[in-house]
Structure 1
Amino acid sequence: MGSDWFLLGAPWDCSGTGRGEARAPRALREAGLAARVGVDLGDAATVISSRRRDEETGVRALPDTIAAAHALASALGSGRREHPERRPLVIGGDCSLLLGVFAHTRQALGDVGLWLVDGHPDYFDAHASDTGETADLELAVLTGVGPPSLTGLGKAGPMVAARHAALIGHRTAGLDPASAAELARVPADLLTIDSPAVIGDPHGAGRRAAAWAERLRVPMWLHVDVDVLDPSIMPAVTYPQSDGPDIDQLAAVLTPLTAAPNLLGVSIADFRPDLDPDGRLAKRLVTLLDQTL
């Protein structure tokens, strides 16, 4: 990976329970990631400790989440200004760290697209979510659906136009009623490439997503939620779902995206080192990043 990247940690756990995601930046560094990048900027101040669910919005830890988003946006902006020749690699934490990423990119760059590689759509309404965690709804918030205190983080909203977002690797079969209703909320103009399509032709899925983004003519952010992987491959996640791709299939999808000339930055999230006692899975993720970046 070398000098093309700077590393920024986002120890962000939107549940406020300390269940494990916030320890991922340290675990991935210890598994060898820090040695593979040109610059390591340490961690942004994104620790969330509140478990309180806001009555009006239904969002858990709302004030802490807003503060964390601003902190990550500030740290990312500083990193990009200080290292303009490098691209950011943000390591979480859970996937609602994207609220901080796009709070920065929307204000600094205007229109930016998103490849969201995730086992879930993350398009819940907060009140319909069992937990109110922002990891259940960050794609909805990014595309302008949700409480104004979150959708307005980028000042001019939405932070990501739905037509500039792609959802890749999500499950579409065997869903419970709540998950089916969540999937039905995803806007029709958002590109979707589901898990069966990824497994059936991973190279083709990656090329399709890359070609789609090339036509947009906007910078692209790539986010990988590791629960996109089948739990037989990656069990160290909070919300595992079966019928996902394996590591080689995921690498095949990611390679055309990481090679795209309009790639702005990358984030990876939802790894639980507390469920990886021997560090084997952390090393597997570092290998995947080394291979694809």
Structure 2
Amino acid sequence: MNQSGWFLLGAPWDCSGTGRGEQAAPAALRRAGLSTLVAHDLGDAAAVIDSRRRDPDTGILALPETVRAAEALGEALAAGLRDHPGRRPLVVGGDCSILLGIVPALRHRSDRVGLWFVDGHPDYIDALASSTGETADLDLAALTGDGPAPLVALAGAAPAVPAELAVLIGHRTRDLDPDSAAELARVPAALRSLDADAVRRDPAGAGERAAKWLAAHPAWLHVDLDVLDPKAQPAVTYPQPGGPDWDDLTALLRPLARSPRLLGASVADFRPDLDPTGALAARIVALLRDVLP
């Protein structure tokens, strides 16, 4: 990783409002040495969510607090982009709905932003059908214009990311329970995808293919660590079997991270409370050192 090419921003964001492990991830990754990989560490955005109230109209948990957290994260990222021209942002969460703050900040600079969405889940659940109401259930849906209006509107003109500029990578498509199958069925046909089986068969080839799909557009790389198989990374909130290992993920991410159109990257869904020795935090830092240009 080219230290001079990046700045770091933390997002201690837990959409469940319970303060579970994701909220502590930025601090844990700094203890594991993440700050040494970047030119500037801007600290954490004011993106803590501490409400457990579910909005009766939209079904979203902590809706006003989530909107405020998204706006605060977007403002912090916009300031970082303004103050550190020529450097790419690395945003660490938090859960993957940090994208609700990240993408609006990017949209201030480009009308059309692509997204490589590396995740074990599609994140396309209907809000009212969600058992939890967590925005991490539906962040990709909201970004592509399918979700509650207050979330869809965060980036201004909707959708924040056109479906044809989003690439879903690493999600599970086999042995799904009925709810997961229904979620997968909601993903629009225009949204291209490479499932976990495709990644495991040829991780580098999958990365190269996804990079070519967005070669004409500036794009953000997002990695939810639950894309990994739980044998490799158990310290996540919603683990699923059938995912790639660390070597597979490294090979997948390299072509994406080396795209000349890369705007920046985010990493989410790490639970340091499930990593008592700190070994997994160190492994995440090593991944970023190996992958990011």
- For the aligned pair, the TM-score class normalised by the smaller chain equals over 0.9
Report what 1:225 is aligned to: 224
Other-structure match for 2:38: 37
Amino acid at match of 2:205: G
What is the identity, as a one-letter code, of the residue corresponding to 2:256?
L
| Equivalent in the alignment of 2:89 | 88
User: Partner amino acid for 2:283?
Assistant: R
**Segment drifting more, 263-272 vs 103-112:** 103-112
Determine if contact 1:107/1:155 at 8 Å carries over to the other structure. no
Written as runs of structure 1 = structure 2, the 5 A alignment for 1:243-282 is: 243-282=242-281
CA distance in 1, matches of 2:104, 2:62: 18
Aligned residue number for residue 212 of structure 2: 211
Structure 1 partner of 2:137:
136
CA contact (8 A) 1:195 1:245 kept: yes
- Tell me the residue number matched to 2:284: 285
5+ residue gaps, structure 1, are: none
Q: Which amino acid aligns with 2:239?
A: P
The equivalent residue for 1:189 is 190
Q: Which residue of 1 aligns with 2:119?
A: 118
Aligned to 2:233: 234
Q: Distance in 2 between matches of 1:249 and 1:108?
A: 33
2-structure distance, mates of 1:195, 1:150: 28
Does residue 16 (structure 1) correspond to residue 17 (structure 2)? The answer is yes
Is the aligned partner of 1:106 residue 2:103?
Answer: no
Query: Per the alignment, in what secondary structure is the counterpart of residue 127 of structure 2?
Result: coil
Aligned equivalents of 1:108, 1:51: Cα separation in 2: 34
**Residues 123, 185 of structure 1: 8 Å contact kept:** yes
Contact 1:106/1:156 (<8 A) preserved: no
Equivalent position of 2:165 in the other structure: 164
Q: Displaced runs of 4+ in structure 1, greater than 2 A?
A: none
How far apart, in 1, do the equivalents of 2:200 and 2:129 lie?
30
- With normalisation by structure 1, the TM-score equals 0.99
Maintained 8 Å contact 1:118/1:227? yes
User: By how many angstroms is 1:108 displaced?
Assistant: 2.9
1:85-137 deviations in Å (ceiling 9; x for gaps): 10000000000000000121123321100000000000001111110000000
